[in-house]
Structure formats: structure tokens, C-alpha cells
Structure 1
Amino acid sequence: MDIAMTLPTMLPHGRDEVLRWCRGIDEGPWSSLAVPERVTYPSHSLMVQLSAAAALTERVRLWTTIVILPSHPAVRMAKDLASVDRLSHGRLTVGVGVGGREADYQAVDASFARRWSRMDAQVARMRAVWAGEPPAAGLDPVGPPPVQVGGPPLVAGAIGPKAVARAARWASGIDDGTAIVTPVPETLRSVAANVRKAWRDAGRSDEPHLSTSLWYALGNDAREQLHGYAYDYMRIFGDEMAEAMADSTTAHSPQALRDAVDMVREAGYHELFLVPTTADPDELARTRDALGV
């Protein structure tokens, strides 16, 4: 299983931290560098951080985890992502999903209705743009053409059976949030089995790429740091849920982090995205030490 690292996009930070995180991740041993998206939060813009990462790295694969696609115009998103694919020399994988926070849609004047069907249509439209088709009759094609033939791979942020079944029609894999608080082996194995079944049911013989993410913290006051991050992130769903989720976090010591990584690996996942809960770039060294990599 590959182990990837997420930028601290959700936390306040500046130029120096971005430089150190991007360069530190690119030095390895991380398989990918991920950038998440959220609007109504003190987070950085996904596309701005993704573009910076494309320019500041040479080796590591870039991921979006995830773009809330129905909150964006499909043609504009296709253009932006193709631009990042070119800046990174074809190192981009695009995770897309519908999200669960209506506030993020309201903030950008996007409809929250029919999100899944709209995303299906948007995926098809983005691929048409990447193939060089004009967005409408009488218009020129929208460039630039992506480096990767057919455009960057698309991975669906999905968990439920209906969402996974839809994604099996167009995605190269599933990026789920099953392990974000703490991995549960039985749940992970069940999700992995359901995804593979959905692929077979869709008549596909290829292996779906399975990935998930994990909030973690190391160093001084790690438990409190992880709890505070989880609570603040989930507070949009109410204090009671936020407290319950924060209380469930467990990856706040080197041994707990190693155990979590092992659980995800043993469940048959291909990639795990570690999500730091601090903007301190020294967390990279602490993580390498904890995992012995």
C-alpha cells in the first residue's frame, strides 16, 4: 500500500510552510500529495494550493481529495485541472465528489439539488473538453490539452452503495472517508468488497483504485491537537456530532499511527492519505520517524 500526504490546506499557514511541506513531501517517501477542498472555512483555495504544489514538486503525484464538483462550472474546472496537469507534467489525479455541506454550495451560489446526476454529466463534459471538443456549437475548443491522454484519472469520493454503483460507470477508483477518524477493520473490508463488486456488476475487469484518509497528530499535545482539529472541522454538523467524532479519533501516537496504517493496508486498500492536523512542517519528520520510512 502506498502512503500519501495531505497538505495542511485547512489550517492557517503562509508561504514558508507551503514551500517546506511541498518540498518535504516531494523528497519522499510519500506516493502522492493531496489537496482537499472546503469553502466556508478558513482554508486555502484548492486550485491555488494545487497549482503551487505543481510548481514546487517534481516527483510526487498530485491529488484532489476532493473537488466538490457540482459546486463548480464543469468547463472552467476542466480548464483549471488541465492547466495543473500541464504544470505538473501529467502527475495529476482528480478526486471528485458531491460533499455533504450545503453551506459550501450556498457560498458560491450553486444548487445543492440533484448533485449526483449533475456530477455524472459534469464528468462527461470535462472529458469532452479534454478530448478537444468545443463546449458548444460555434465555439473554439477549451485548452490547454492535458498531458495525460484522455485527461487526468478521475476517482470518485463515494461510500454508499448507490454512489459507488454510479461511480463504477466512469471512475478509476473510489476515495472514501471510512478511516478519517479511526480505521475499523470490518468496515474497511466491507467497503473494499462492495467497491470491487460494484466494478464487476458494471461489467468491468479492471481493479478499482481504493484510497482513504486519516486525521492524525504526533509530537507534544498530540491528543489535544487531534481532538481540537476534528471538533472544529465537524462543528458545521452541530456540537454533539463534532464532539462525538473528535472523541473517536485515535491516531495521536507513533504506535497508534502505525496500527492505523496496518489496518488500512490489511483491508486491501491501495493508498492511504495521511491528513496532518498541524501546519508545522516538522510533522513530516515526526511522521517518517513514526513509520520508519
Structure 2
Amino acid sequence: MRIGMTLPVMEPDLWERGAQTLHTWVRAIDEGPFSSLCFGERMAFDNPETLTLLGAVAAWSSRPRIVTTVVVPQLHDPGRLAKALATADQLSGGRLTLGVGVGGREEDYRAAGADPATQTMAEMAQRVATMRRIWAGEKVTEAMRPVGPPVVQPGGPEVLVGTMGPRTVRHAATWADGLAGVTLDLDTAAVGALFDTARAAWAEAGRPAPRLTTSFWVALDDDDGPGAVPGAARAQVHAHLRHYMNWIPAEFVDAIAPTTGFAGSPARLREVLARFADLGTDEVQIIPVSSDVDLVRRIADLTADLT
């Protein structure tokens, strides 16, 4: 099983620390044992714009795959999005993986000037199909030449679908290459059942076995012992969720915070990762709840022999 690391693009103090923080994180991930460097998209939020960041990350890194854990195609013109992603594929030397999702926030559609009525799996699949035609060199408009540049990866970047439910997994089996999952409560039985659904759906559709990834929030306590601060990591997760899940009433966020993500010692995190490896997970992508780059180094140390 491989381990990916997510950039702290949703952290409230990111810009206070300065944009150099992102460069520092990218370099630390690039130099570590991580198989991928991940980040996602929001519009009505203070995170960096995803397609702009893609270019910077491609230039700053040389080794790991670059994974957009979620881009919402309906927030973009498909031709312009295909061009931007093909450019990122070129700049990264073919290291791009595209995670797509319909998005959980109507406000992002309004902020992007997109039609909330397009917030469906069918519309997303149609837009992915259009981008794949563009990446194949087809002309999808009346222009004299097709939209370029050409992609490095034959057929274009790998496309993973962001989902937590079996219905959308089955829908995606005919057009996606795998899952860009997320688990809130680290329920390995539920994740395993979803993976089994995906394997069966892809096989029924006559497709190659899907790539199976999942992700979860992580905060590390000190190893249990003298000087450890009880509950410090759990408080970090809670504060992050309060900031990130700003579209959900605070009382609901407070209700799920005690059981969402991982908060504990490095030894316990290794145990959790081992359970996901036992499911046949291809990659776990760790989502930090701090913009302190020391977290990257700590997780690199504890996972170096797992990847």
C-alpha cells in the first residue's frame, strides 16, 4: 500500500504563514517516501485556486504523482479545464491523477457562476467524456485546430471518482479508473465493503480492476508517556473540522468531531494504516489538520517502511 500526503490548502493560518509554506510542504513531500502529493478544490473558501496551484506544484516537485483529490468539472468549461489539466500533465511529466466529484456545496456552484442543476453524476460523467475526447486529439468545437496541448499519458490522466456510496460507485464503473474515497470514522469494514462493490462493478462492466484509494484527517499526539498532552490531537481535528465544514451547522460538526479522522500517537497510526493495507487499499492519502511542515516529517518517519 502506498501513502500520499495532502497539502494544507484548507488550513486557516495558511496565508498568515505565507505562500512559501506551500513550497516548503511540496519539497518535504517530494523528498519523503510519499507516493502522491494531493489537494482539492473549493470556490467559496480561502484555499488557493486549484488549477493555478497545479502549475506551481508541477514545477516544485519531481517525483510523486500529483493528485487533485477532487475537482468539480461542472464548475468549469470542459474545454478550458481539459486544456489546463493537459498543461499540468505536460509540466509534471505525466504525473497527474484527476479526482473528480460533484461537490457537496451549492454555494461553490454559485460562486463559480455555474448552474446548480448540473450537480449530478450524469453531468459529471458527460464532462469527463468530453475532456477525454479532447485529450484524444478530437475537435469538439468548430475551431480550426483541436484544444491542446497533447497529454503525456496516453488517453489523458487517470480519473478517480470521489464517492462514499455504492450507488455512485456503480455509476462510475463504466467511465472512471477508480475511487478517490474518504472515510470519516475510519470504519475499515465499511471501506472494505465499498471496495468490494467497486471491484464487482468494474468487473461487471468489463473494465480493468479499479484503483482504490481513501483518505482521512490526521493529527498526531506525542507518543504516550510523560509530557504528553491528552486530547491535543483530537482538539486539532475538531478545530479543523469547524473551519473546513463551515457549511454545516456547528452543532452537527461538534457531534461528529470526536469520532472523525485519526487523532493519536504515531504507533496507533501505523496500526490504522496496516488495517487499510489488509483491505487491499492501493493508497491512503493523509489529510493534515495543521500547516506545520513538521507533520510531514513525522509521518514520513513512521511510514517509510510501509510504502
- What band does the TM-score fall into relative to the shorter chain? over 0.9
- Displacement of 1:183: 0.9
Residue aligning to 2:206 = 203
- What is the CA–CA distance in structure 1 between the aligned matches of 2:290 and 2:271, rounded to whole Å? 21
| Cα deviations by residue, 1:247-280 (Å, 9 ceiling, x for unpaired) | 2135222133223212221222110000111111
Corresponding residue SS for 1:83: helix
Residue aligning to 2:174 = 169
- What is the CA–CA distance in structure 2 between the aligned matches of 1:242 and 1:223, rounded to whole Å? 13
Amino acid at match of 2:215: S
- Displacement of 1:95: 0.7
Corresponding residue SS for 1:64: strand
Q: Determine if the alignment matches structure 1 residue 136 to structure 2 residue 141.
A: yes
Corresponding residue SS for 2:128: helix
Matches within 5 A, 1:112-127: 112-114=116-118, 115-127=120-132
Structure 1 residues 4 and 227 mapped into 2: Cα distance closer, same or farther (>3 Å)? same
Deviating more after overlay: 73-82 vs 224-233 = 224-233
- What is the CA–CA distance in structure 2 between the aligned matches of 1:209 and 1:292, rounded to whole Å? 22
Residue aligning to 1:93 = 97
Unmatched runs of 5 consecutive residues or more in structure 1: none
- Of 108, 111, 114, the residue aligned with 1:110 is 114
Corresponding residue SS for 2:67: strand
Contact 2:212/2:283 (<8 A) preserved: yes
Corresponding residue SS for 2:70: strand
- What is the CA–CA distance in structure 1 between the aligned matches of 2:189 and 2:240, rounded to whole Å? 26
Residue aligning to 1:217 = 219
TM-score (norm 1): 0.94
- Of 257, 271, 276, the residue aligned with 2:283 is 271
- Displacement of 1:231: 2.4
Contact 2:2/2:284 (<8 A) preserved: yes
TM-score (norm 2): 0.90
Matches within 5 A, 1:1-293: 1-11=1-11, 12-13=14-15, 14-114=18-118, 115-177=120-182, 179=183, 181-204=184-207, 206-219=208-221, 221-249=232-260, 251-253=262-264, 254-291=266-303, 293=305
Deviating more after overlay: 129-138 vs 95-104 = 129-138
Equivalenced residues, count: 290
- Displacement of 1:151: 0.8
- Displacement of 1:138: 4.1
- What is the CA–CA distance in structure 2 between the aligned matches of 1:246 and 1:69, rounded to whole Å? 30
| Cα deviations by residue, 1:158-216 (Å, 9 ceiling, x for unpaired) | 23222112211111111112x2x331121011111111111122122x21100011101
Structure 1 residues 43 and 50 mapped into 2: Cα distance closer, same or farther (>3 Å)? same
Amino acid at match of 2:203: R
- What is the CA–CA distance in structure 1 between the aligned matches of 2:186 and 2:274, rounded to whole Å? 10
Cα-Cα RMSD: 1.6
The percent identity for this pair of structures is 40
Corresponding residue SS for 2:287: strand
- Displacement of 1:222: 2.1
Amino acid at match of 1:56: W
Corresponding residue SS for 2:247: helix
Corresponding residue SS for 2:153: coil
- What is the CA–CA distance in structure 1 between the aligned matches of 2:245 and 2:19, rounded to whole Å? 27
Corresponding residue SS for 2:197: helix
- Displacement of 1:68: 1.1
Contact 2:58/2:92 (<8 A) preserved: yes
Amino acid at match of 1:214: F
Corresponding residue SS for 1:154: strand
Contact 1:226/1:246 (<8 A) preserved: yes
- What is the CA–CA distance in structure 2 between the aligned matches of 1:232 and 1:289, rounded to whole Å? 28
Instruction: Tell which has more relative contact order, 1 or 2 (C-alpha 8 A, sep 6+).
Output: 2
Structure 1 residues 150 and 286 mapped into 2: Cα distance closer, same or farther (>3 Å)? same
- Displacement of 1:285: 1.3
- Displacement of 1:245: 2.4
Amino acid at match of 1:264: F
| Cα deviations by residue, 1:98-129 (Å, 9 ceiling, x for unpaired) | 01111111111111224211111111110111
